[in-house]
Amino acid sequence: MLGQQGHGGFYAGPTSALSHLMTSDKEEPDSGEGAQASLFHRSYSDAGMSVPSSGTATPTTVATQMAYDDDLSAMLPPKHLVDGLIEYYFEYCNWIYRHVNQAAFLAGWLRYKSGEGGDRIILGTVCIILALSVRYLPPSHPLASSLTGSIEEVGTRYYGIMLSALDRYRESMRKEGSGKGYTLDLLELLLLRSHYLTFAKEDPEEIWSVRGELISIGTALGLHRDPGGKFEKSVAERRRWAWWHILLLERWQAFMFGRPPAINARHFNTRMPSYCDPSIDKSGRLYKPNIALFELAYILGDIMEDAVSFRPVPYSAIQGHDRRLVQWMEEYLPPELELDEFRIARYLASPENAIRRLGVQSVIIRSAYHHIRFTLHRPYAHIPNSLEIAVASASQIITLVGQTRSDFLSNTALAVPGHMNWGPFHVFSAAMFFSFQLISHPDQPAGKLFRENVRKAMTCLEQSRWMPIAEKALNILEVLAPLHSDEFLQEKPEKREIKKAQVLKLVKTLAFPYQDAPYSRSGETPDLRANDSPLVRADRSPTSHPVPPSFVPMPWPLDTPDFPALLPTNDPHLHPIQRPHPPPPSMPHTVQPVMTDIFGQPVVSPFEQIQPPADEGSMWGASVGFAMGEWQTFLSAMQPPDNTRSKDETDQ
């Protein structure tokens, strides 16, 4: 239900006290153009969940007429440069994320420029668009030469102005008693903020915090309920775009951290966006790649429900998820994105914007698909079928991302390298999978193939070394490289163990891509505010608050019987040791196996384990190939116990 105007205008569900004031007429389903069928989108009955009879419920109106913030506006570049960067954003920077409704924003920006009244949300949106645009600008672009400072400095400057404008907006809402100030404009600003933060990848906890705020505001505005016929078509579509972008961010960040999703698929019924203005694209296919990415996010939500479950997960569930992923690739990935290596290179180097967009979308969306699929099967890599799928998908990631680098290096004016900022992390995750397969089984038949994939990944990261995440990833892979080299295989077992202990001890000290901020070791946080004053905020430091372990210890990616998966007892590949306690009554056909390390020693139950420190236990999520807490456990387990070490190692 959407609350009545006199009651705040925010969403109130069927258990709220406000429900007493609502009618009980069943809501009519939308049968218009917005009712696009989706294979993966389930519709649930809305019986007893109605809206006021007027059918025009809207969120609380927030006054936008206010005094201008002259001190903040003075920090902006000249208007013609601002307009040029805004135009550049809508032309080149929103190929994957269409966070901002262009028509609504440009109308607000026109009012702001013409002096009709200040609007801090519009000002903040302008600033974050500037910060994003410079991240995509090729060095030779005329707009880049008009800006002072490096890309990072310019981005940080305008991001700081945005934060100041946002703080002032919220403070004014509190002082004036205008409520929370929740609007679609605010949502789109926060979505842009999350987009900007993905470039740095140095304080992902801030992205996680923004994700939570977006979920809260989105559900307060009722975006999780399909607007149906209650809103004008353009507004209804804007609400759908906003909600699905929230879901896309929320699902992907849950995947990156290995944390539970915030909202279950059963708890929203908002349809996919479906309308494309014919004046923009007569074919109506312009947004098909974006919709395909939303469909993938929908599947990812269900995968994460199982991935972070503390209850046993039958292997049949993994197989079911995989079938849905394959079906998505076959039925929902637009044919125009199914590009071979030659066409990817040609598309990325094309002078035509529409062609170049398809090349970028093909690489990004397919890389995300393969990353999800190999991560789904990684914990079950001791099962031949899952190992085959994980290896194939991880190889595809390295191949896909590797195909883009030569074009970027030779033609940066056309390729828009900013879009590929996730590429190094995809490659790193795949390379880590192969590395630890080799470390665990250096003599395995597929070793040559795995080593070649690691070498290809390191070459790709070397070419991307200008990106901080690539630098960190390459450092880790270079340190691990001796453990799966040809020379390592020739050494005696005793020497192998000594070298392994030395290398893994060094790896523990390195900075980790995505999870580690460059300042997290010292506890200092750079000031992103506009006033350039020293500022250390504990709530921005990823090491200032513990992150609870949210991943059940999954089987290690080792093809040995010492690593039982969470499988049903009748699975032919499972030989688990029975737990001393019986399984829950609601799950009679599964057992909770005793978790063991690589030496066969019991691992503490996830229900009993102590929360690890944030800088140790939260460095690795499922997307990197390790569950929460697995990284430290694995490094410790890879080193032999003190009483088993050789005399040479003890002496050393």
Quick count: other Cβ atoms within 10 Å of Cβ 349? 17
Question: If you write DSSP's letter for every residue of 145-196 in order, what string do you get?
Answer: HTS-S-HHHHHHHHHHHHHHHHHHHHHHHHHHT-TT---HHHHHHHHHHHHH
Average pLDDT for 46-69? 44
Structure tokens at 28: 């009519």
The region of weakest confidence among 7-11, 79-83, 151-155, 625-629 is 625-629
Question: How would residue 42 be classed by pLDDT, with cut points 50, 70 and 90?
Answer: very low
The larger pLDDT score, comparing residue 293 to residue 418, is at 293
The region of weakest confidence among 169-173, 290-294, 409-413, 636-640 is 636-640
What is the SS3 assignment for 212? helix
The region of weakest confidence among 98-107, 228-237, 459-468, 627-636 is 627-636
| pLDDT at res. 243 | 98
| 46 is a domain residue | no
The larger pLDDT score, comparing residue 256 to residue 626, is at 256
What H or E segment, with its residue span, contains residue 127?
A: helix 120-136
pLDDT at residue 562 is higher than 90: no
The region of weakest confidence among 175-184, 397-406, 615-624 is 615-624
The larger pLDDT score, comparing residue 443 to residue 623, is at 443
| 278 is a domain residue | no
Residue pair 615/543 in contact (Cβ under 8 Å)? The answer is yes
| 300 is a domain residue | no
pLDDT at residue 607 is higher than 50: no
For 164, the domain range is 70-231
pLDDT at residue 643 is higher than 70: no
| pLDDT at res. 525 | 37
- Per residue in 102-141, pLDDT (tens digit) is 999 999 999 999 998 889 999 999 999 999 999 998 878 8
The larger pLDDT score, comparing residue 158 to residue 39, is at 158
Structure tokens at 508: 């523990």
The region of weakest confidence among 68-77, 222-231, 615-624 is 615-624
Q: What percent of the chain has pLDDT over 90?
A: 46
| 192 is a domain residue | yes
| 440 is a domain residue | no
| 578 is a domain residue | no
- Among the residues of 313-383, which ranges form H helices? 315-331, 341-348, 353-377
pLDDT at residue 6 is higher than 70: no
Residue pair 370/396 in contact (Cβ under 8 Å)? The answer is yes
The region of weakest confidence among 263-277, 289-303, 305-319, 519-533 is 519-533
Structure tokens at 299: 């599947």
Structure tokens at 437: 């397969």
pLDDT at residue 3 is higher than 50: no
pLDDT at residue 531 is higher than 70: no
Number of H helices, E strands in the chain: 23, 0
Structure tokens at 318: 């993994």
Average pLDDT for 598-604? 35
pLDDT at residue 367 is higher than 90: yes
| pLDDT at res. 521 | 35
pLDDT at residue 520 is higher than 90: no
State the distance between the two ends of the chain, measured CA to CA, in whole angstroms: 69
Whole-angstrom distance, CA of residue 375 vs CA of residue 251: 14
Average pLDDT for 462-488? 87
Q: In angstroms, how far apart are the furthest CA atoms of the chain?
A: 83
Burial class (CB in 10 A: 0-12, 13-18, 19+), 635: middle
Position of tokens 């005696």?
Answer: 492
Average pLDDT for 438-462? 91
Query: In 3D, which of 208, 311, 304, 290 has the Cα closest to residue 242?
Result: 290
Average pLDDT for 247-275? 94
| pLDDT at res. 490 | 85
pLDDT at residue 229 is higher than 60: yes
The region of weakest confidence among 36-45, 265-274, 290-299, 550-559 is 550-559
| 99 is a domain residue | yes
What is the SS3 assignment for 494? helix
Question: How would residue 414 be classed by pLDDT, with cut points 50, 70 and 90?
Answer: low
Average pLDDT for 512-522? 51
pLDDT at residue 45 is higher than 50: no
Structure tokens at 374: 């190999």
Cα 607 to the center of its chain, rounded Å: 27
| 358 is a domain residue | no
| pLDDT at res. 302 | 96
Query: In 3D, which of 93, 36, 39 has the Cα closest to residue 333?
Result: 39
Average pLDDT for 412-437? 84
| pLDDT at res. 417 | 77
Structurally, the chain folds into a number of domains equal to: 1
- Per residue in 386-396, pLDDT (tens digit) is 999 999 999 99
Average pLDDT for 545-573? 31
Quick count: other Cβ atoms within 10 Å of Cβ 79? 9
Residue pair 529/156 in contact (Cβ under 8 Å)? The answer is no
The region of weakest confidence among 17-31, 180-194, 231-245, 268-282 is 17-31
Q: What percent of the chain has pLDDT over 70?
A: 67
- What angle do helix axes 151-176 and 120-136 make, rounded to 10 degrees? 160
Position of tokens 């893994």?
Answer: 504
Mean pLDDT, all residues of the chain: 75
Whole-angstrom distance, CA of residue 136 vs CA of residue 478: 29
Quick count: other Cβ atoms within 10 Å of Cβ 317? 18
| pLDDT at res. 18 | 66
Average pLDDT for 612-640? 45
pLDDT at residue 211 is higher than 80: yes
Residue pair 467/135 in contact (Cβ under 8 Å)? The answer is no
